Structure 1
């Protein structure tokens, strides 16, 4: 009996040590995700508030920045061969381009950034629906309840934002135009939600066939999509002129337009955000990644409300809590056996 207790104690101590070591190695990526992703949202919202028509330019700049970095450091000026053939990227690149453009462009249709964050937090809803319909997966009742909570939360926040528009003091014609454009933005976010879930399925299928090569995938998905932006060339050039006309950045000695500084900041931080998420995914279990990403979205929501003084009523808070709590419940983040289970799996390999 004593021998059994001793062995159980040793095994528990080893599991605890392994978990603590794993988490200590993830400290830098966790703070990297929180800092870079939240910082990126500040730059994005600042651009969206001052020049909402620059969303296509912002998307193109991010793609160009990450693609250029990939050419230099990942493909080493195309001297390193791809581990995944280009034909394997076709669906992923197409959906990735569509999701990013539509999500960012929705900010041009009077969709407030807090609602934008909450909407994008509902990706589990679309993932569950498409996984059931396209892949034939089945889920536990708890996950369906979680998705219902997420759906209700998004609906509550959307209705709350809609009612704010009617009380804004606009004339009937202005309010009607504002509501029509806002409805287009909501439709775009809804479409992007489904497209994002389909993108996740495409990525999963690609990794199952060719293996996981995150650095290469990040480079190729951004680089191959660049020609698509030619379709938006006129809009991008027009937005560039508007950014150049913005007031000079106060902390620099040269008269550099402030919105160009914001755009550069968003590109750098967006790259770091993606990079740190990939690093985190390689060091901890998926539940921890879900917790960190959900925490990042919630903190970004708080920053958007406080820093940019966005209106956020008690109705919004109820909806937001339902969305984030439903996300954590769906991921079963409160299951205490996740770290130990992962350690046992590693030992059995």
Structure 2
């Protein structure tokens, strides 16, 4: 854990617009900025509601898939040829692809030339991020993940050149999310905050964002699941997601995301639900190492910490109370794949090296078995 005497650097989009109705300002910003060829990166759901952007007949790559891979990225780059502004419009998958497309657009480079830390070149096009879910916080980040289909591993790319010029967070866009998606993405936002809060490189500045993000999820997620039109709850979750994104930059996630990644890459389980399935187990596994912070997390979610088993039971009950089936079996994960998944997760050292507890391959396999 870092202290107030430890230097830290935080990066944000230079313009961040938050609040109900803020999307209405977007078309004016595009016109005032002089962009003539905007291009949207979206999934099929958001590609069907492009009129909300106010840009008229705008070009779009609307084939973003959950857990996007390199071929999906390459198709988006080809489709975006000639664009001078890239717009990520959707959840984390669309916004991650938008970051990568923005740095590859107009460049004679492939993904392999920019993947990893600090290799992406300066952009020659603009970049705007507009989230339609409340979970990833990708709109304020400099990191993007895509799956390499040959290795089935997520490849992380990070660069200040992938930071958006503008992020518009309009909670009205999330009102149409189904209850299941609301629940899963809300737990994802909470996982970002929780893992940053308990990380070995947690910092008091980031802790403030992280704890408030967890508290917002504890207060508003069940309300939004029960009533999707609850505007206050939708705003609260959008803010929690934003705070989670702030946490990702200088601190990032740890074991929860590392253990959840194989669920997405190997079995195509959406990122939000994958994190929800793993969250109670890694929270409990880390509890004894960070007891005071664990107690605050549990209190924010409405239960007492107590023993590791009490933490596991309380966190699982919180997720089940959102209507989530919390067994891996329910999502088609084969039991005979758990050992291979554990080895794969254990190799994600960029996350696990910062976990408060050193989890072995056997520890991770035990988590999968307990979650099965």
Q: Where on the TM-score scale, by shorter chain, does this alignment land: which range?
A: under 0.3
Q: Which protein has greater RCO, CA pairs closer than 8 Å, 6+ apart?
A: 1
Q: TM-score, normalised by structure 2?
A: 0.22
Say which structure is richer in strand: 2
